[in-house]
């Protein structure tokens, strides 16, 4: 199972690498404006936000639903490939892609935590970061033909679907406890500061995920060097994922989350202040070890720890953080970059600061 999970993360996050690094540039090449790119890339996060509410109403994230989501993901990648020149059809394709990808990751994350535990999770998850780096470096060499990014997106999606299907067929054992918990009420309002903090943290990433490549190339940084910046950030992410087991085991998870968010405040301010300084840009990318790697692992482990309905907790994390936060971040950053481009990463720093304040206001579940 460890090998299969490693392969899944490798190919799943290779898709993410294509999507966040190259697809914005592809869309820009097809003549889409910054606000249109923000809307298109915000479609998938919108779906991630809506889907968890369907699970509250009775839909279950079981093996059958999982298999349907794999099929939807592949169909969406094909539709994305075909409809890239048509805004509304491409928007619908993005929505379908969001449905597929937002369902499969929470399902796999729970399998990973159940089988390998939070201490070893990072050493498996790091293969996702390696996949991100590899596809970024390879695709950068062929990007003179923009359609190659769409070829990669389609191929990687198909491979990911096959591996995920194999994992689901091998995971025969369904926990009786989890089946019972699916029926129990899930309320995020009891921890509203926690969930709001997670949302604002992801809003702060909107500028980075959707416009970092465009932002830096517009400031005179070459595309190759921008890809190196992306790759360096993921490299330090790999180091953190490999080494974080002791941190997750020995320190309070909530405090690790807060530290990661505070580091992000500083990171985005550096990008805002020095968009053409390569030394400081590489330093800001080194903070990705905290603002993504440690943040993600500490958060999913914390939610797994405090909620009985573990799959739904992970679904809501994807829905609220990467869904609502990702949607808001994409749209907001699109309009900011179109009308006040110099303030793009200053806004990210402010959103991260709001996240930190909310997480400080939140009390640990055992103290509430």
118-169 residue pLDDT tens = 778 888 888 988 898 888 888 877 766 667 888 888 999 999 999 999 988 8
User: Residue by residue, what is the 3-state secondary structure of 30-92?
Assistant: CCCCHHHHHHHHHHHHHHHHHHHHHHHCCCCCCHHHHHHHHHHHHHHHHHHHHCCCCHHHHHH
pLDDT at 82: 87
Helix extents (H) in the chain: 2-17, 23-29, 34-56, 63-82, 87-142, 147-170, 176-182, 192-204, 206-218, 223-243, 245-250, 253-273, 278-286, 288, 295-306, 310-316, 326-339, 344-361
Q: How many residues does the chain have?
A: 368
pLDDT at 146: 67
Range 2-361 classified under CATH 3.40.50.300: no
State the DSSP code for 320.
I
Distance CA 355, CA 197 (A): 4
Residues 6+ apart with CB under 8 A from 74: 100, 157, 158, 161
**In the chain, what are the domain boundaries?**
2-361
The contacts found for 155-158 with CB under 8 angstroms, 24 or more apart, are 156/11, 156/14, 156/15, 156/18, 157/15, 157/73, 157/74, 157/76, 157/77, 158/74, 158/77
Closest C-alpha among 201, 200, 197, 204 to residue 361: 197
Residue 340 near residue 34, CB atoms below 8 Å? no
Which stretches of the chain score pLDDT less than 70?
56-61, 143-146, 171-188, 364-368
Instruction: Estimate to the nearest angstrom the gap between the alpha carbon of 141 and the chain centroid.
Output: 24
Distance CA 59, CA 174 (A): 17
Token pair 């999770």 is found at: 121
Distance CA 42, CA 44 (A): 6
Residues 6+ apart with CB under 8 A from 224: 140
Distance CA 4, CA 79 (A): 27
Q: At what angle do helices 34-56 and 87-142 cross, to 10 degrees?
A: 110
DSSP string, 206-220: HHHHHHHHHHHHHTT
Residue 352 near residue 264, CB atoms below 8 Å? yes
Residue 128 near residue 164, CB atoms below 8 Å? no
pLDDT at 59: 66
Question: First and final CA of the chain: distance in angstroms?
Answer: 37
Closest C-alpha among 90, 97, 106, 127 to residue 14: 127
Residues 6+ apart with CB under 8 A from 275: 215, 216, 219, 281, 345
Distance CA 91, CA 107 (A): 25
pTM for this predicted structure: 0.77
User: Residue by residue, what is the 3-state secondary structure of 181-193?
Assistant: HHCCCCCCHHHHH
């Amino acid at each position: 199972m460890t090998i299969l999970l490693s392969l899944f993360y490798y190919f799943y996050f290779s898709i993410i690498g294509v999507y966040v690094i190259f697809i914005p540039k592809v869309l820009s090449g097809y003549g889409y404006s910054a606000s249109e790119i923000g809307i298109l890339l915000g479609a998938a996060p919108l779906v991630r936000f809506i889907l968890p509410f369907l699970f509250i109403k009775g839909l279950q994230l079981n093996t059958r639903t999982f298999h349907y989501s794999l099929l939807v993901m592949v169909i969406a990648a094909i539709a994305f490939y075909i409809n890239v020149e048509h805004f509304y059809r491409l928007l619908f394709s993005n929505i379908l892609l969001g449905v597929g990808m937002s369902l499969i990751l929470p399902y796999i994350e729970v399998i990973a935590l159940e089988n390998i535990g939070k201490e070893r999770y990072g050493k498996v998850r790091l293969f996702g970061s390696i996949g991100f780096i590899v596809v970024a470096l390879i695709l950068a060499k062929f990007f003179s033909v923009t359609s190659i990014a769409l070829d990669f997106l389609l191929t990687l999606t198909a491979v990911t679907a096959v591996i995920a299907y194999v994992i689901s067929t091998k995971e025969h054992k369904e926990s009786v406890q989890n089946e019972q918990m699916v029926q129990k009420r899930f309320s995020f309002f009891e921890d509203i500061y926690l969930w709001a903090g997670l949302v604002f943290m992801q809003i702060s990433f909107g500028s980075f995920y959707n416009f970092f490549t465009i932002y830096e190339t517009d400031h005179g940084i070459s595309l190759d060097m921008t890809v190196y910046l992306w790759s360096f950030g993921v490299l330090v992410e790999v180091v953190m994922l490999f080494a974080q087991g002791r941190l997750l085991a020995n320190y309070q998870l909530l405090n690790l989350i807060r530290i990661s968010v505070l580091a992000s405040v500083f990171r985005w301010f550096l990008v805002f202040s020095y968009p053409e300084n390569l030394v400081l840009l590489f330093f800001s990318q080194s903070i990705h070890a905290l603002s993504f790697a440690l943040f993600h692992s500490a958060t999913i482990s914390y939610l797994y720890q405090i909620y009985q309905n573990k799959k739904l907790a992970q679904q809501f994390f994807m829905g609220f953080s990467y869904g609502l936060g990702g949607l808001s971040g994409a749209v907001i950053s699109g309009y900011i970059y179109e009308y006040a481009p110099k303030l793009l990463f200053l806004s990210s720093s402010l959103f991260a600061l709001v996240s930190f304040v909310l997480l400080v206001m939140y009390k640990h579940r055992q103290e509430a």
